[in-house]
Amino acid sequence: MPWLRLLRWKLFISHTLIIASGVLVLLPTAHFLAAANFAPEPAASLSPDAAPTDKASVASSAYVQSVVDQALLISAFAALTAAVIVSLFVSRRIVEPLQELTVVSGRLAQGYFRERTAINSNDELGALSQSINQLAEALEKTELRRLGLVADVAHELRTPLTTIEGYMEGLIDSVIKPEPEIFAMIQHEATRLKWMIEEMALLSRAEAGQLRIEPKPIALLEIIKQVAAQFQPQVASQELTLTLDLPPTLPQVLADPDRVVQVLINLLANALQYTPAGGEVTVFARSLDFVVQVGVRDTGIGIAAEHLPHIFERFYRVDKSRARQSGGAGIGLTIARHLVYAHGGEIWVESEGIGRGSVFNFTLPFNEPIAN
Ligand code: ADP
């Protein structure tokens, strides 16, 4: 009987069984108690010459017993009716919220993340409903982020592709002359496209927690000098000054050198990108208690206070039009943060506001275990 598996029926049957067992105990007990208490004296009842008062006593005893039986039957019926009403009430209070929770979780499983339950009772069902609503909220946020990511990725990839398409159409229609600069421009856009795809692939690996880090003891001073040397041609062409403010020695850190280079390149490239000609970029490093701190300071456009908390979020750009011109996809800092966190370090930004430069800092842990 499949209907027997329904909670509603289980509740009804359990209530009925409780009442029925009460009735089963009460009926014979009351019947025998009544019989014993209202029975006439044995001598009087058995004698054939019993007096009329004795006969009346036997009749009244039988009458009392039948009244007691009737009263018990009526109360049994009343108790059964009460069982029906109570089980209806209880099933309303328990079964209906459970049905609502089942419907809502089913809708969530189908991808309708806006679904919420309206149960706000102050009991276990209310608590369950609250946690289902929290789950729905988390799922909805993740879904919104995913949709935003797909839209952003599509938008970012479309920009260089549209440029390449435009040049190609111009070349085919002979509107643009096939000159070396045009091919160089197309190649530049193609390279940018490839770089963006690589960055996005890296970001998705980082966000999935699949970035491989191979830490080993490294000397940061050497790495900083190498990366800075790599940027010298760009520094010169942008009429900037790049200064290294480094101590003579630094403790070794435990890090993956390729990933540290990647972080430094991201921060230095940004500093050069967002600092106008004549400005200065400084890379500094110092040893703190258990970590080495590295920083990239610039005298560039700076960052307004309201943007600071979001600067490491993926695809976040302060000035979208400016970033697009210069090719930024707004994921360099997100990747840098993932890389630094993967090493157990910290990364943060400081800026006194627009036009007042910025400082990007990160830390990496010492190689040596800390002696107590
Ligand atoms: P992008 O590729 O756009 O530079 P990032 O993730 O590296 O992406 O940086 C995110 C945003 O942070 C940039 O678009 C820019 O608005 C801001 N930003 C990053 N570095 C600096 C800096 N040194 N000075 C001013 N703004 C910066």
276-315: pLDDT as tens digits:
999 999 999 999 989 999 999 999 999 999 999 999 987 7
Q: In terms of Cα–Cα distance, which of 209, 220, 229, 221 is closest to 339? A: 209
Q: In terms of Cα–Cα distance, which of 281, 285, 296 is closest to 219? A: 285
Helix residue ranges per DSSP H, the chain: 7-38, 42-46, 52-109, 124-172, 180-207, 220-237, 257-273, 320-326, 332-342
The protein residue with its alpha carbon nearest to ligand 1, atom 21, reads: 270
Taking only the tens place, the pLDDT of each residue in 87-110 is 888 888 888 889 999 999 999 999
CB distance 302 to 353 below 8 Å? yes
Residue 322 in this model has a pLDDT that exceeds 60: no
**Which percentage of the chain shows pLDDT scores above 70?**
91
CA 263 to centroid of ligand 1, rounded, Å:
13
CB distance 362 to 294 below 8 Å? yes
Cα separation, 245 vs 224, whole angstroms: 10
How far is Cα of residue 256 from the mean position of the Cα atoms in its chain?
29
Phi-psi category of residue 239: left, alpha or beta, with phi > 0 → left and psi -120 to 50 → alpha = left
Q: Is 19 in the pocket of ligand 1 (CB under 6 A)?
A: no
The protein residue with its alpha carbon nearest to ligand 1, atom 23, reads: 271
Residue 127 in this model has a pLDDT that exceeds 70: yes
Q: Is 299 in the pocket of ligand 1 (CB under 6 A)?
A: no
Least confident span in 24-38, 219-233, 254-268, 332-346: 24-38
CA 294 to centroid of ligand 1, rounded, Å:
18
Give me the pLDDT at residue 24, please. 85
Least confident span in 20-29, 120-129, 169-178, 318-327: 318-327
For ligand 1, what atom is nearest to the CA of residue 331?
Answer: 6
Give me the pLDDT at residue 370, please. 52
For ligand 1, what atom is nearest to the CA of residue 333?
Answer: 6
Taking only the tens place, the pLDDT of each residue in 174-210 is 999 999 999 999 999 999 889 888 888 888 888 888 8
Phi-psi category of residue 286: left, alpha or beta, with phi > 0 → left and psi -120 to 50 → alpha = beta
CB distance 278 to 240 below 8 Å? yes
Q: In terms of Cα–Cα distance, which of 251, 256, 333 is closest to 292? A: 251
The protein residue with its alpha carbon nearest to ligand 1, atom 7, reads: 332
Note the pTM of the prediction, 2 decimals. 0.64
Give me the pLDDT at residue 368, please. 74
Give me the pLDDT at residue 39, please. 66
- Reported as a pLDDT band with limits 50, 70 and 90, residue 32 is confident
Give me the pLDDT at residue 321, please. 60
Q: Is 270 in the pocket of ligand 1 (CB under 6 A)?
A: yes
Give me the pLDDT at residue 42, please. 58
Q: Is 311 in the pocket of ligand 1 (CB under 6 A)?
A: yes
Give me the pLDDT at residue 341, please. 94
Give me the pLDDT at residue 219, please. 93
Give me the pLDDT at residue 131, please. 94
Residue 232 in this model has a pLDDT that exceeds 70: yes
The pairing of beta strand 241-245 with beta strand 280-287: parallel
Name the token pair of 243: 């200064």
CA 345 to centroid of ligand 1, rounded, Å:
20
Q: How far is CA 146 from CA 142, 182, 196, in A?
A: 6, 37, 18
**341 against 328, higher pLDDT:** 341
CA 270 to centroid of ligand 1, rounded, Å:
6
Residue 344 in this model has a pLDDT that exceeds 60: yes
CB distance 236 to 242 below 8 Å? no
- Reported as a pLDDT band with limits 50, 70 and 90, residue 355 is very high
CA 191 to centroid of ligand 1, rounded, Å:
20
**16 against 272, higher pLDDT:** 272
Least confident span in 19-23, 148-152, 242-246, 277-281: 148-152
